[in-house]
Every structure is written in C-alpha cells, then in structure tokens.
Amino acid sequence: MQTSLSGHALRKIVHVLVITVFTVALAFPFYWMVVTSFKQNVDLYTMENNPFVFNAKPTLDHLTFLFTQTRFLRWLGNTTFVGVAVVAITLVFALPAAYSLARLSGRWGERVGIGIFLTYLVPPTLLFIPLSRVIAYLGLQDSLWALILVYPSFTVPFSIWLLMGFFKAIPRELEDAAMVDGLTRFGAFVKMVIPISTSGILTVVIFTFTLVTQEFVYALTFLSSEANQMIGTGIPIFLVRGDVYYWGALMAACLIASLPIAFLYNLFLDRFIAGFTVGAVK
C-alpha cells in the first residue's frame, strides 16, 4: 500500500512539474513583452541591468509612440476586416464542399480531399508572382480586397480537409432520420449537421483568422501604403527603420495584437482540441 501511495505521489509531482515547465515556457514571451513595453530605453540597453525586471521607473513612452507616430489602430482595423471577410468566405466554400466530399462522393471523394489539401502545402513564395499578375489585372494593387481574394486560396483547402474528417465522424443515421422526418438533404445539413459540427467550425474560424494575422508574403507584395498595412507587415516595416529597432513599441504592438488571439484560444480550447481530434460526436 505504501509503495502504491509513493508511486501515486511521485506521478503527481511529475505531472505538476511538467505543467509548471510548460506554463512558464508559454507565459514567458508575454512577460517579456510586458516588461519591454514599459522599460525605459536606458534601462533596456544598459548591459549591466537585469533584462527581466524594471531597474528604472516604468514608462509609457513606447505606447505613446506606437499610437501617435504609427497607424497601429488602422492596422488593427485592417486585420480585423480582412480576417472577418476571409473567415466568412472560407466557411461559405469549405462547409458544403467538405460535406459533399465526405458524404456524397464515394471513395473518390477522399482522394479529391487529399488533392485539395495538397494545394495548401504549395508555399506562397511560388504563388505570389503569378497572383500579383492577377491582382494587377483586376486593379486591386494596394487594396485590402486583394488579400480577401487571395487568402481563401490557402484557407479553404485546409478547412475542407479538416471538416471532411469531422463530417465523417458524424453517424449517417442522424441525417437519414432527419430526412425521414421530412427534411431535405440540404435541410438536414443545415439543421442537423452544422449544429453538431460546432467544434470543427470553430476550429476553422480560429485557424483562418490566425493565418490572416500571421501571413506576411502576400501582404508585403500587394500592399504598399502605410494606411493599408496589416499587423504582420506594418509592425516590422514601420517600427524597424534602418538599423534602429524600436523595441519597446515593437513589443507593445506584438502584445496588443496577440492578446485577443491568445484569449480566444484559451476560451475555446476544449472545442478547438475536439475539432482537431475529431472527438465531438453526439
């Protein structure tokens, strides 16, 4: 009995230590951004000072510089607008396509799904040159609509592949019962399948919005004016001037931009994991 209790206590200690290590490792970047955002430059650049604590009085100069000397709020608005539009387009195309391939297409639907997913793996560095010709032909250079047009080219394929696995995990009997009760195939999809697939849909929403905020190549290629920049391009372009790095403003901008996404991930963590593991079948 004593050996069993000792083994249980040891496993618990190891479990706590593992959680502690991961928590510290994940929280450290946010701690570093907070400290750097409010450090005075003389405190930050003095080699003798401890970089992880405030050796001098904190300052708001970096935040003031960020909000008054850059278009940071405009970049946040641009990113939110493009993200919401791309999420909506992705759901409109990915939901029916994934359902059709998972339910109505037979064995070849799985092969088509894999082929669609493989298009997601094509790197943007190979595609931005031909796509820039398309954008120029449409007259969308230096316009947010260029990104709204291009981003679904890599968000839709992955979302279709992800949702296909989720739809396959939903028993067909549920839809058959709904159609026996008088619903059409489309009605069963809207009223039965989509509500059950909340976890998968939420995963697609978070994944798509995160990709929009982090994408760099297309935003750098298609946008040029300061007012039209996204978060991912505006911060490094306008807060790194030659060999001068505005570290305080850089860290403050990254902190403000990352907190909402981190909050969403933690708020819907269980559903997000269920979406990727295809484990939410009722």
CATH number at residue 204: 1.10.3720.10
Q: For residue 244, which phi and psi values (nearest 5 degrees)?
A: -105, 120
On whether both 127 and 34 belong to a single domain, the answer is no
Q: Is the pLDDT of residue 265 over 80?
A: no
- Which pLDDT does position 93 carry in this prediction? 92
Q: How confident is the model at residue 180 (pLDDT cuts 50, 70, 90)?
A: confident
Q: If you average pLDDT over residues 138-149, what whole number do you get?
A: 92
In a domain, 179, yes or no: yes
- Which pLDDT does position 119 carry in this prediction? 76
Residue 171 three-state SS: coil
On whether both 32 and 142 belong to a single domain, the answer is no
Q: If you average pLDDT over residues 244-264, what whole number do you get?
A: 87
Higher-confidence residue: 269 or 58?
58
In a domain, 247, yes or no: yes
On whether both 46 and 116 belong to a single domain, the answer is no
On whether both 52 and 124 belong to a single domain, the answer is no
- Which pLDDT does position 147 carry in this prediction? 93
- Which pLDDT does position 145 carry in this prediction? 94
In a domain, 142, yes or no: yes
In a domain, 136, yes or no: yes
In a domain, 282, yes or no: no
In a domain, 199, yes or no: yes
Q: If you average pLDDT over residues 206-224, what whole number do you get?
A: 88
Q: Is the pLDDT of residue 207 over 70?
A: yes
> What is the rounded CA–CA span in Å between residue 208 and residue 202?
10
CB within 8 Å of 36: residues ≥ 6 apart: 44, 247, 248, 251, 252
In a domain, 265, yes or no: yes
On whether both 13 and 86 belong to a single domain, the answer is no
Q: If you average pLDDT over residues 58-83, what whole number do you get?
A: 92
On whether both 53 and 191 belong to a single domain, the answer is no
Q: Is the pLDDT of residue 264 over 80?
A: no
On whether both 43 and 156 belong to a single domain, the answer is no
On whether both 86 and 187 belong to a single domain, the answer is yes
In a domain, 66, yes or no: no
Q: How confident is the model at residue 277 (pLDDT cuts 50, 70, 90)?
A: low
CB 217 within 8 A of CB 127: no
Number of domains in the chain: 2
Give the residue numbers spanning the domain of 40: 2-59
On whether both 129 and 219 belong to a single domain, the answer is yes
Q: If you average pLDDT over residues 227-254, what whole number do you get?
A: 89
On whether both 23 and 83 belong to a single domain, the answer is no
Q: Is the pLDDT of residue 200 over 90?
A: no
Higher-confidence residue: 94 or 11?
94
Q: For the chain, what is the mean pLDDT? A: 83
Q: If you average pLDDT over residues 139-159, what whole number do you get?
A: 90
Long-range CB pairs of 64-71, under 8 A, 24+ apart, other chains included: 65/246, 65/248, 65/249, 66/239, 66/249, 66/252, 66/253, 70/234, 70/238, 70/239, 70/249, 71/226, 71/227, 71/229, 71/234, 71/238
Q: How confident is the model at residue 148 (pLDDT cuts 50, 70, 90)?
A: very high
On whether both 44 and 105 belong to a single domain, the answer is no
On whether both 109 and 228 belong to a single domain, the answer is yes
Higher-confidence residue: 193 or 32?
32
Residue that terminates a domain, selected from 36, 59, 82? 59
